């Protein structure tokens, strides 16, 4: 119902669409005849949609990607990564050998490929932590009711990216 309201459908249009949908999904009374009816109805449905050049699933192709949308998606992804890291670290400590000096010596004696992998992992974790931290600050500002205009969304988005890069660079220097 909420999606119908978002589409701007009135009750008559909504009931017409539901009636059309109901004819496509009919409860089975007889296995062979209802299967044949369903097959012909689905053929008719797909033929009609192909004649009208309707796309199969346009939900991703109809949107223009903009910075607030991408930052929202990135905030969710970085939150998952940071959460995973903060849950994995205690588990490694709890079930590991607790020989951190041995781990450190092993990493120091490893080749440059392993050390660059560790640096890359540190960079990713620092970026995820920084991004999620600054995005959370941005959300706290939104909770006060400020920063909702389109211009402010873009300004705070670019400020978020700049603060993330500076904080990531600072964490990489540690």
In a domain, 157, yes or no: yes
**Residue 32 confidence (pLDDT):** 58
173: DSSP letter: T
**Residue 12 confidence (pLDDT):** 57
Two structure tokens written together for 66: 């903009």
In a domain, 61, yes or no: no
Got the DSSP string for 87-127?
Answer: HHHHHHHHHS---HHHHHHHHHHS-HHHHHHHHHHHHHHHH
**Residue 4 confidence (pLDDT):** 47
Q: Do residues 42 and 103 both lie within one domain?
A: no
- The domain that holds 98 is classified in CATH as 1.20.1300.10
**Residue 34 confidence (pLDDT):** 76
Q: Do residues 105 and 157 both lie within one domain?
A: yes
Q: How many domains does the chain have?
A: 2
**Residue 146 confidence (pLDDT):** 94
Q: How far is CA 66 from CA 60, 63, 78, 135, 137, in A?
A: 13, 9, 18, 16, 20
In a domain, 60, yes or no: no
Question: pLDDT digit string (tens) for 76-114?
Answer: 999 999 999 999 988 988 888 888 888 888 888 888 998
Q: Do residues 72 and 39 both lie within one domain?
A: no
Taking 50 as the pLDDT cut, the residues of the chain under it are: 1, 4-5, 28
Q: Do residues 36 and 89 both lie within one domain?
A: no
**Radius of gyration (C-alpha) of the chain in whole angstroms:** 27
For residue 146, what are the domain limits?
Answer: 67-172
């Amino acid at each position: 119902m909420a999606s119908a309201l978002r589409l701007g459908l009135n009750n008559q249009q909504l009931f017409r669409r539901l009636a059309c949908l109901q004819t496509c999904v009919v409860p089975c009374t007889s296995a062979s005849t209802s299967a044949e009816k369903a097959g012909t109805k689905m053929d008719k449905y797909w033929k009609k949609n192909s004649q009208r050049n309707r796309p199969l699933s346009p939900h991703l192709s109809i949107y223009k990607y903009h910075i607030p949308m991408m930052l929202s998606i990135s905030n969710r992804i970085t939150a998952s990564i940071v959460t995973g890291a903060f849950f994995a670290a205690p588990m490694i400590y709890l079930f590991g050998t607790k020989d951190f000096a041995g781990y450190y010596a092993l990493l120091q004696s490893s080749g440059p490929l392993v050390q660059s992998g560790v640096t890359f992992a540190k960079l990713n974790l620092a970026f995820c932590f920084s991004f999620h931290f600054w995005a959370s600050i941005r959300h706290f500002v939104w909770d006060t009711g400020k920063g909702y205009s389109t211009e402010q969304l873009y300004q705070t988005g670019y400020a978020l990216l700049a603060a993330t890069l500076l904080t990531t660079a600072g964490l990489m220097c540690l």
